[in-house]
Structure 1
């Protein structure tokens, strides 16, 4: 961790767009399994599969460690502060402040990811002072491309990020939302 990276608050709760984004707790472990033990989550994200109780517990512990290091925030997407419907992520990285998300299969098609990304972007702009947030998506992931477009992101003309995850090659496009675009 860079010595210039400030830690994130121990507790975070963000509201807006009809959502409450809140910290994960031990009480959420079983619900995390229902949200993330899904073929789409397994295919499009780096989350482990199968996503069982051990995976949920490891993710919660890693979330707390990365938050303390000042690198990543993982928040449960809820409508009322209670039942998690998915997750939104903010990650400080050399290439920029990256956002990410996953919505449980039973909760897709309700605009949760779009709204959660907008709330997290507002947090990054207003509380962290960043000028740009990015999404890194595979062009073939039509649902995520739709989220990026609906949330106001623009596709950048930069090289693809290529790699391999879980034995499958990927090529990520970089999408960006600038503070000036939101404020203007």
Structure 2
């Protein structure tokens, strides 16, 4: 019988590559719709759309519940620990550690997602003992493919993950990065 994953720390703050990845707080709720209520995010991610204040509060509650279960960490991407620019996610599953990301439209083009993924991948290796982390993305999502490449990930020779989300079929490629 496999044991449940150990819980994550109640508070996490990671620094590196000119970023501070920190816990979401109640103070961030008003900023979250500007980050996540966008057609690109609605199309490429499972985040609800429209993403309003109620969705932000529900996401914050879900973050706290999943972290307490030891399965998911959602962290705000910031440059100084202040205003959020996006989000980076770490999920522990049967196949290992998966990362995900979303950057608000006003903050794109600054390399935030790739840097945040590298910082969180280092955390997965150093603190969780992960030898490899993966990203799951659609090949048609050119921005996400660019992030994965800049973060040092490469496509793995594994079957596509196919499904449907929000009434739209998808086929996710698995990209991996072996950690030192």
Q: Which residue in the other structure is 1:44 paired with?
A: 44
Specify the SS of the correspondent of 2:99. Answer: strand
Specify the SS of the correspondent of 1:5. Answer: coil
Q: Which residue in the other structure is 2:113 paired with?
A: 113
Q: TM-score if structure 1 supplies the norm length?
A: 0.96
Measure, in 2, the Cα distance between the counterparts of 1:40 and 1:24. Answer: 22
Measure, in 2, the Cα distance between the counterparts of 1:29 and 1:4. Answer: 30
Specify the SS of the correspondent of 2:113. Answer: helix
Listed as ranges, the gaps of 5+ residues in structure 2 are: none
Q: Which residue in the other structure is 2:16 paired with?
A: 16
Specify the SS of the correspondent of 2:48. Answer: coil
Listed as ranges, the gaps of 5+ residues in structure 1 are: none
What do residues 117-170 of structure 1 show as CA deviations (whole Å, max 9, x unaligned)? 000000000000011100000000000000111110010011000000000000
Q: How many residues align?
A: 179
Measure, in 2, the Cα distance between the counterparts of 1:117 and 1:124. Answer: 10
Bigger shift: residues 161-170 or 91-100: 91-100
Bigger shift: residues 62-71 or 91-100: 91-100
Q: Which residue in the other structure is 2:176 paired with?
A: 176
Measure, in 2, the Cα distance between the counterparts of 1:62 and 1:178. Answer: 29
1:132-147 alignment runs, 5 A limit: 132-147=132-147
Q: Which residue in the other structure is 1:62 paired with?
A: 62
Measure, in 2, the Cα distance between the counterparts of 1:146 and 1:88. Answer: 16
Specify the SS of the correspondent of 1:173. Answer: strand
Bigger shift: residues 92-101 or 168-177: 92-101
1:31-110 alignment runs, 5 A limit: 31-110=31-110
Specify the SS of the correspondent of 2:102. Answer: strand
Q: TM-score if structure 2 supplies the norm length?
A: 0.98
1:30 aligns with 2:30: yes
Q: Which residue in the other structure is 1:131 paired with?
A: 131
* CA RMSD in angstroms, aligned pairs only: 0.7
Measure, in 1, the Cα distance between the counterparts of 2:94 and 2:41. Answer: 25
Measure, in 1, the Cα distance between the counterparts of 2:124 and 2:104. Answer: 24
